[in-house]
Amino acid sequence: MHYKALDHLAIAVKSREESAPIFRDTLGFTFDRLGESPGMGIYQSFFAYEDGRHLALIEPMEPGNAVDRAIQGRGEGFYVLSIEIDSLEGTKKELSAKGVRLVNTEAPRGPVFVHPRSACGMFIQLTQRVWPDRQAEPYTTHPDAHYRWLDHVVVAVRDLDQAVATYRDTLGMTFDRRAVSEALGIKQAFFRTEEGRFIELAEPLGPETPVGRALERRGEGVYLIALAVKDMAERVKALKAKGVQLIGGEKPGDQVFIHPRSAKGVLIQLVERK
């Protein structure tokens, strides 16, 4: 069982028609295409990163389906992270044997989903791109895109030791290291994909820290997504000119975040990657 790459993520929105211009015109994402998936019950708007992978805005096709229930329960925001794996069938067997709750297991080529209850509140899509009888088309890169790739995802957890056991021993992800950040008020554990991107588990050092308050409001689950940018100063300047609400970035070296109010409920960290 190998977790190869963070493939894409989806943000649940009430209206893609209303949300797409925010991501394209205000936040500066590179619009790729529209789509729809009747099987999943969603309309989609895709935005490409420089590396060719994408972020998707998904709108429920009808009231009461899974995406609509998520919006009604938690509001607009992060919905699912897709991770590329080497073998869907092998991964299903290994995870099922460990008691992981899986969704959509009958579809021969997936996607298969790990239920949030089995992943500390994060909904995970497992995607196999390369099959014996079908090679995936290479991603089309977008050299002019402002956002280079999905760098990492931070998951807020109540008990880091328990969460590490879940991700390492049950889900089979590759553990990298632990750390403590007094400045951020968190204990951290990092899990790397083969491509080098990572998932970070974060336990708050106290209830009044940002992650502590997020846990109190929303429970365990995705706290933020981090996107790589080429030039932090340039991107901050462009976002401020568009009226985007930012956290940090007042002086060189500051961490910079796009406030959830400006990004349909998602906290986005910007990290400079040359």
Q: pLDDT tier at 132 (50, 70, 90 boundaries)?
A: confident
Q: How far is the CA of 133 from the CAs of 88, 104, 129, 130, 136, in angstroms?
A: 14, 22, 11, 8, 10
pLDDT beyond 90 at 245: yes
DSSP state of 183: T
Chain Cα centroid distance, residue 67: 16
Strand (E) positions, the chain? 3-12, 30-37, 42-48, 54-60, 77-85, 102-103, 112-114, 124-127, 147-156, 174-181, 186-192, 198-204, 221-229, 246-248, 256-258, 268-272
Instruction: For residue 141, name the pLDDT band (cuts at 50, 70, 90).
Output: very high
pLDDT-derived band of residue 92, with 50, 70 and 90 as boundaries?
A: very high
Counting every residue, how long is the chain? 274
The alpha-carbon radius of gyration of the chain (Å, integer) is: 18
Q: Which pLDDT value is given to residue 19?
A: 99
**Distance between terminal CA atoms of the chain?**
31
Query: How far, in Å, CA of 144 to CA of 167, rounded?
Result: 35
Across all residues in the chain, what is the average pLDDT? 96
| pLDDT tens per residue across span 11-22 | 999 999 999 999
pLDDT of 205 reads 98
Q: Check whether 135 has a pLDDT greater than 80.
A: no
Closest Cα to residue 20, out of 52, 55, 45, 48? 45
User: What token pair was written down for 127?
Assistant: 């995607």
Q: Distance between CA 250 and CA 35 in Å, rounded?
A: 38
Q: Is 17 helix (H, G, I), strand (E, B) or coil?
A: helix
Q: Which two tokens stand for residue 130?
A: 């390369």
Interval 31-85: pLDDT, tens:
999 999 999 999 999 999 999 999 999 999 999 999 999 999 999 999 999 999 9
Please give the pLDDT value at position 242.
98
Contact by Cβ (8 Å): 34, 17: no
Tell me: pLDDT of 1 over 80. no
Contact between 78 and 156 under an 8 Å Cβ cutoff? The reply is no
Note the pLDDT of residue 269.
98
Classify domain 147-272 at the CATH topology level. 2,3-Dihydroxybiphenyl 1,2-Dioxygenase; domain 1 (3.10.180)
Q: Is the pLDDT confidence value at 203 over 80? A: yes
Question: How many Å apart are CA 23 and CA 56, to the nearest integer?
Answer: 10
Span 166-177, pLDDT tens digits: 999 999 999 999
Q: Is the dihedral of CA 150, 154, 160, 165 positive or negative?
A: negative
Closest CA to 54 of 183, 124, 145, 133: 145
Say whether pLDDT at 253 is over 80: no
pLDDT in tens, 38-52: 999 999 999 999 999
Residue 109 has pLDDT above 90, yes or no: no
**Class of domain 3-127 as given by CATH:** alpha beta
Residues of the chain within CATH 3.10.180.10 domain(s) are 3-127, 147-272
